[in-house]
Structure 1
Amino acid sequence: MKQSDRSAILTIKNLFHIQKKEDAAMHFNKRGPSLWCLGSLLAVPAHLACTSSAHLTIEPHVNESVSLSALDPGPLEQRREIDISSCPEFGSIWRYESDGLVDRTGLSDINAVYWVATLPLLNSNEGYYTIRGQYPEARFFSLEVYDPNPVDSLLDFQIQPDRGSSNPFSGRGSGADKNYTISLSPSGFTRLTGNSLFTGDAPYLNYYVLMYRIYDGQLPEEGLSLDYQENPQQLEKQGGEKLPQISYVSPLGNQAKFQSQETICSQVEQQGNFLEQLGQNLERLADSWTANIQRLEPNGGRLANDPPIWFVGESLNSALVPLFGNYPLFLNKVEERLENAPPVELFTNAANSYLSTYLNSEYGDVFVLQFKAPTFPGLDTEDRVVDMQSQVQYWSFCTYNLTTGYTGDCLQDSQFVIDEERNAQLVVSWPSNRPSDPDTGLPVENWLPFSGFTTLLIYRHLLPSNYFRRSHYFYERLCDRGWDLNCFGRYQAIQLWMGEYYPEGTYCSRAEFESGQCILDNK
């Protein structure tokens, strides 16, 4: 370990007031057990084993806690399987699609496409769901269960292939096909295939939410199937494959919760447009925030801070101080209401870590970030197996309207202009104030728009290398261990952890930027 790394970690420990437990070989937190690896501080999630591999190695995701004989519906001839992929009322069980083109809601990354299915709750003796799909041509894909907080997930290279198939993301398997099968079942239900997702108890909803993500889908090299001749864009979003098929599998007899496709599809329909309802609730919450700020702090300062305060994670609590720090009365009221509230991490991606801050154009026409860019796989790689030479599998910056959650725009790693030393710059302004490059006079590259009076800026790291210690992914996992409940928002500790990869930011006028005078003092 470099002396600078050692000093940074010691300083972070002092900031956290961490007392390391020498005999702690394993700890448990809300994400499950975490193993000590890469020294004493870098925790990896439960199913991420520390190995000599350069990247996170995820073991088969199964639960051996309950015997198969106790809960299995029985031999194949004693089961009934009902295909619910094409419920007649709405055409597809994948009722919602967010592609960054038509729909930019929900704090989404527009370089990814999200499909959502809602499935009726099941007791352990009422069967399970089976998901059958094909590995897509994409940089990344996953299937995750929510309630709406994260419950369980399977990432692309975790998913074991069917017999006669291969997984291009892990290199497992030897067949020419690309098929996989996943069982989705109530908590405690044992594995039925090599791949299992568990549903939890769904305490906040009366159904399961299943989300299918694809990052950077590609068209198949062999050309378009007849089903997509008139809509190649849709096939590209899907990574060249059809959306996964979902079936309800139950024991024969009275234990089956649903006896036909009509009955189960009818219940799915009754679950309603939950995304629309969620959006309406969030808008009401935002309106309430605005009204309360005006009432409690009529002469208060601006939202956000200069320089910006960064925080990690998806917890609402960790996001409050950077936003409402200039409104102490309102902040106290909100914190009081959230003190006993359940944690909220709506539909987050298990493979991602989120480093976020708030921007306010009243501080300046132009906001400028400088950071060292992590390395990432080339996009023309024939094999989708994790690139061992890359620090992350994917990274991006996105701007969002804080009130609505609407995505302004995103820039992913491959779209950035990066110099030979891997230094990069990001510029944020209103479109009407997009500055020119001081050297070329052309519109500045690496640019994103402000997306509201207060803009949320999110920096994603997806599947970092075990050896890329500076990723905020590992800092967030450290916070997850529960050593310091406030560490998610300790921006000085985050800065020390990330070192030169930390995004430093400042505001300036358009004229200052175009004359080369927009300089980061803290650099």
Structure 2
Amino acid sequence: MRPGSLRYQRRTRLFALTVAAGCAAAFPVLTTQAPAGAAPPEVACGWSPRIGAGTFNVAYPDTFANYWMTFVPAAPGTSVTLHGDFPHARYMSFVSYSALGVATDVLTDTSIAPDAGSVNPFPAGADRETGNRSYTVRVVAGDRPENPEPNTLYARATNGVIPVIYRVYRPDAGLDAMGGTGLPRTTVHAPGGGAYELADCGASTSDFDPHGVFPEGRTRLGGRATPPPHAPQWAGREGGGLFPNPDNKYLATLVDSGRTAVVRGRVPETPDTFSGAARMQPAQLRYWSMCSGDGPSTSTLGCLVDDELPVDENGEFTIVVSAPENRPDPGCGVAWLPANSGETLLIMRNMLPAEDFPNSVQGADPENPQPVMGPYYPEVTYPADTGEPDGLC
């Protein structure tokens, strides 16, 4: 299926259109009644319900991340502000997209200046426990200029709206999917000076299970323009039209149908935020995960995250990828990802590498990442080929 073809566009827009339809149905009016003609007609509400593997499982969501979508109006003379509190979490961002699900701009947590009197808890060394943590972001229709305005997200409008996704990765222990600070408030500033705060599109659905194993057979979103290689090789991926996070780079490979695979490598150092660390720690990566997914439906089957991954004294991991009946004993000291009945896609995420960490996916050749990544490259073998027992235990 060619990117740009009509069929490709229809498939890759399913995600956004489904959210939009649910949004409009949930809240047909603005929370503040506007004079006739003043409110932008393109948007009926603010943030969607939470999107993820446990809800609308398409575009390979990471189970340890949480997603909300909104459609920002881009009518002439209209502007939008997003006002919220930085979450207690590993990471947050706002990303704008084209109608084809291609990222057009990103505001990463560390690039967002806090409101006067507040603190941004995400830069290395920052106070993660601060009680004053508010920010204000603008969304502007148009290309990102050479010298962008502070706290401003840019995008080209499509049919009068800009799709924006708000992400929160790895909320602190005991907190909800929003990191304990709720969703940002969306305010539409209409021509003539009227301001209208939008209601969310439905329940925030803050409960989530990042350890869930999700069945195959979800709604089909779209095909891959270039299929990834089969294990043991991996190749870099940008995310295509699947609403990717620009702060991540990905490695992907396909596991042979019906076979148990074993993945070994070294996990980079990441900040220990989940336990509620008082300060944001410097690290080699901000975030690392590996997930298994179903290629035809682009659904996630399960994920593993950096701070839960069993490692040996050298920081090296072993992950078994198998059907549930071949899952290793939890006491074996190895991790497990579910495989489905067909081809299983493995995706490894590297987020925001430190400047002095040379072994990230970001620094590697997408077609031949192993030489640069060294011990951090995930080696894949099949026990049936090496004489190892299935499950390694």
Partner of 1:514: 389
Structure-2 change in CA distance of 1:182 and 1:517 (3 Å) = closer
**Corresponding position of 1:240:** 180
Are 1:312 and 2:236 an aligned pair? yes
1:39-50 matches, cutoff 5 A: none
Correspondence 1:304-383 to 2 at 5 A: 307-314=231-238, 344-362=240-258, 364=259, 366-378=260-272, 379-383=274-278
User: Following the alignment from structure 1 to structure 2, what is the Cα–Cα distance between the partners of residues 260 and 425?
Assistant: 54
2:325 aligns with one of 411, 417, 432: 432
2:191 corresponding residue in structure 1: 251
TM-fit CA distance, 1:166:
1.0
Q: Aligned partners of 2:357, 2:241: CA distance in 1, in Å?
A: 25
Q: Hey, what's the Cα distance between the residues in 1 that align with 2:269 and 2:195?
A: 51
How many residue pairs were aligned?
A: 331
Note if 1:207 corresponds to 2:161: yes
Q: 1:382 deviation in Å?
A: 2.9
CA distance in 2, matches of 1:162, 1:436: 49
Does residue 195 (structure 1) correspond to residue 123 (structure 2)? The answer is no
**Counterpart-to-counterpart distance in 1, 2:160 and 2:307:** 41
Unaligned runs of 5+ in 1: 1-81, 221-234, 254-258, 269-278, 290-302, 316-343, 476-486, 519-523
SS of the residue corresponding to residue 156 of structure 2 reads coil
Q: 1:216 is paired with a residue of what secondary structure?
A: strand
Offset at residue 83 of structure 1 (A): 9.4
One-letter code of the match for 1:140? Y
Q: How do residues 66-465 of structure 1 correspond to structure 2 at under 5 angstroms? A: 92-123=45-76, 126-147=77-98, 148-170=101-123, 171=126, 176-187=131-142, 194-202=150-158, 206-218=160-172, 236-252=176-192, 282=221, 285=223, 307-314=231-238, 344-362=240-258, 364=259, 366-378=260-272, 379-385=274-280, 387-388=281-282, 390-436=283-329, 442=331, 445-465=334-354
Contact 1:135-1:178 at 8 Å conserved across structures: yes
Distance 1:495 1:461, change over 3 A: same
Structure 2 Cα separation of the partners of residues 169 and 178 of structure 1: 10
1:500 alignment partner, one of 371, 375, 387: 375
Please tell me whether Structure 1 or Structure 2 has the larger radius of gyration of its CA atoms.
1
Counterpart amino acid of residue 245 in structure 2: N
Shift of 1:238: 0.9
Q: Which residue of 1 aligns with 2:7?
A: none
Q: Are the equivalent residues in 1 in contact too, given 2:127–2:278 (CA < 8 A)?
A: no
Q: Which amino acid aligns with 2:65?
A: A
Give how far 1:178 is off: 1.2
Q: CA deviation at 1:414?
A: 1.1
Whether the 8 Å CA contact 2:137–2:151 is kept in 1: the answer is yes
Instruction: Return the offset for 1:447.
Output: 0.6
Output the CA distance in 2 between the equivalents of 1:312 and 1:216: 23
Where does structure 2 lack aligned partners over 5 or more consecutive residues?
A: 1-37, 202-217
Deviation at 1:218, TM superposition (A): 3.3
**Cα gap change, 1:421/1:128 in structure 2, threshold over 3 Å: closer, same or farther?**
same
**Distance change >3 Å, CA 358–CA 150, structure 1 → 2:** same
Q: Say whether the 8 Å CA contact 1:141–1:214 is kept in structure 2.
A: yes
Which deviations, in whole Å up to 9, do the C-alpha atoms of 1:369-402 show, x marking residues without a partner? 11122111223353353x22x2111101000010
1:101 Cα deviation from its structure 2 partner: 3.0
The alignment partner of 1:473 has SS state of helix
Distance 1:380 1:117, change over 3 A: same
Identity, % of aligned pairs?
29
**Cα deviation code 1:27-81 (max 9, x no counterpart):** xxxxxxxxxxxxxxxxxxxxxxxxxxxxxxxxxxxxxxxxxxxxxxxxxxxxxxx
Give the root-mean-square deviation of aligned CA atoms: 3.6
Kept in 1, the 8 Å contact 2:220–2:297? The answer is no
Q: Deviations over 1:382-433 (max 9, x none)?
A: 3353x22x21111010000101111100000111111111121111000012
- Structure 1 residues 495, 192: CA separation in 2 closer, same or farther (over 3 Å shift)? closer
Return closer, same or farther for 1:199/1:359 CA change in 2, 3 Å cut-off.
Answer: same
- Within 2, Cα distance between the matches of 1:402 and 1:194? 39
Following superposition, the deviation at residue 312 of structure 1 comes to 0.7
Contact 1:361 1:454 in 2 (8 A): yes
**Are the aligned partners of 1:139 and 1:384 in contact in 2 as well (CA < 8 Å)?**
no
Instruction: Output the amino acid matched with 2:185.
Output: Q
The structure in which a higher percent of residues are helix is: 1
Report SS of the residue matched to 1:157. Answer: helix
Q: Per-residue CA shift, 1:426-449, capped at 9, x if unaligned? A: 110000122458xxxx46631101
Give the AA of the match of 1:251: P
Q: CA deviation at 1:244?
A: 0.5
Per-residue CA deviation, residues 244-298 of structure 1 (Å, 9 max, x unaligned), is: 1111113318xxxxx7869x99xx9xxxxxxxxxx96735x58xx9xxxxxxxxx
SS of alignment partner, residue 282 of structure 1 = coil
Q: Is the 8 A contact 1:304 1:358 kept in 2?
A: yes
TM-score between the two structures when normalised by the length of structure 2: 0.73
- Please give the secondary structure, in 1, of the residue aligned with 2:302: strand
Q: Give me the whole-angstrom Cα distance separating, in 1, the residues matched to 2:119 and 2:270.
A: 24
Match of 2:361 in 1: 472
Q: Which amino acid aligns with 2:235?
A: F
Per the alignment, do residues 83 and 349 of structure 1 end up closer, same or farther by CA in structure 2, a change over 3 Å counting? farther
Secondary structure of 1:509's aligned partner: helix
